[in-house]
Amino acid sequence: MRTDLFDFDLPADRIALRPARPRDAARMLVVQPDAALRDSVVAELPRWLEPGDQLVVNDTKVISAQLKGRRIGRDTEPRIEATLIKRLDGSRWQALARPAKKLSQGDVVRFGHEGRVCLLAHLDAEVEAKGNDGELTLSFSLQGPALDQAIAELGSLPLPPYIASKRAPDERDVSDYQTIFAASEGAVAAPTAGLHFTPALAMALGERGVGIHRITLHVGAGTFQPVKVDDIEAHRMHAEWGTISGDAAAALNAARAKGGRLVAVGTTALRLLESATAEDGTIEPFAGETAIFIAPGYRFRAVDILLTNFHLPRSTLFMLVSAFSGLDTMRRTYAHAIDQGYRFYSYGDACLLFRAKSTP
């Protein structure tokens, strides 16, 4: 299938640089099969669901994965920026570095904040391996909880490039870029559909008889990457680590047996649920990596409704929602959203998608 089928023009002023206040005041475009598009707000989510429906949220927590430092041990000490993208073990991370051309295998980078008072003065990492497009394997001088503490102290939140290119991260982002469900550290990007939730909305869902269940998928930086190949079949999906507990799987299976629908809060929750679901529709406990790539033609086994933000052109996420609701429907949906001034991407508005009865 051609990648250009998933392209569209988006005015720059549609990209949200700050979230709505309060979070659940964000707009929500409701997309149902064979029905007119309906403009709503996230706070009205309970009225679109039925008692017995089950919300599935991603409880991953974004780490301070953006590190700044300098190369040491040679005649010059150029400044280096690195974004951690995947934990390999207790002391090693995959990272994206800028400018990567200044680094070679065996170099040491010293990360720290000049002039900033902090518990840890610096953190050293050796370039263990160097790949393409700025990708590195960094072996840190600390490991385990000590390394986690150092990253938290010396790093900053890695805002998506389409926000970071327009403004610097600040203290507001420390809270804005975490969901109210955030508990399990490991993501380098937020599960953005969850950013719309407030305690009041969670309470209203409970009063409506809608359950909320937590699963974990540590979102990687690859979630922001557009598909660069001409045919989507040639795209290599990034892998992300996730887990669904036995208790969560059992509760979701029991609710479905009683007729409850599964509502994935975000594409990350959907991808993990679909990865853990057997051909007969049974959700199984899961712990490991998933690189599932969902595009038109995919047969959904678990998720009935998807709450998600508006995504990048030519991205795997726009392909996923096109598989869920139909490509023609999503092109019409996005055209309406652009025309009506909906805000796009991580801090933007949401759409509530009811799965198409048949997809192309």
Per-residue pLDDT tens over the stretch 149-163: 999 999 988 888 888
The span from the CA of 123 to the CA of 139, in Å, is: 11
Which pair of structure tokens corresponds to residue 313?
Answer: 């052109």
- Extract the tokens encoding 332: 């019409």
SS3 at position 123: strand
Of residues 280, 267, 241, 250, the one with CA closest to residue 323: 267
- pLDDT tens column, 271-324: 999 999 999 999 999 999 999 999 999 999 999 999 999 999 999 999 999 999
Q: Name the token pair of 191.
A: 């599960």
Given a cut of 80, is residue 360 above it in pLDDT? no
Decide if pLDDT at 359 tops 60: no
Helix (H, G, I), strand (E, B) or coil at 241: strand
Q: Helix 267-275 to helix 316-325 angle, to the nearest 10 degrees? A: 70
User: Which CATH number fits the domain 3-62+174-354, given the four candidates 3.10.20.340, 3.40.50.970, 3.40.1780.10, 3.40.50.300?
Assistant: 3.40.1780.10
Domain 66-155 -> CATH class = mainly beta
Per the CB < 8 A criterion, the answer to whether 127 and 137 are in contact is: yes
Q: What is the DSSP string of 120-179?
A: -S-EEEEEEEE-STTEEEEEESS-HHHHHHHHHHH-B----HHHHTTS---HHHHHHTS-
Q: Per-domain residue ranges for the chain?
A: 3-62+174-354, 66-155
Query: In this structure, what token pair is assigned to residue 281?
Result: 């529709």
- In the chain, what percentage of residues exceed pLDDT 70? 96
Residues 174-201 have pLDDT tens digits of: 999 999 999 999 999 999 999 999 999 9
Mapping DSSP to helix (H, G, I), strand (E, B) and coil, where does residue 129 land? strand
pLDDT exceeds cutoff 80 at 117? no
Phi, psi for residue 260 in degrees, rounded to 5: -75, 145
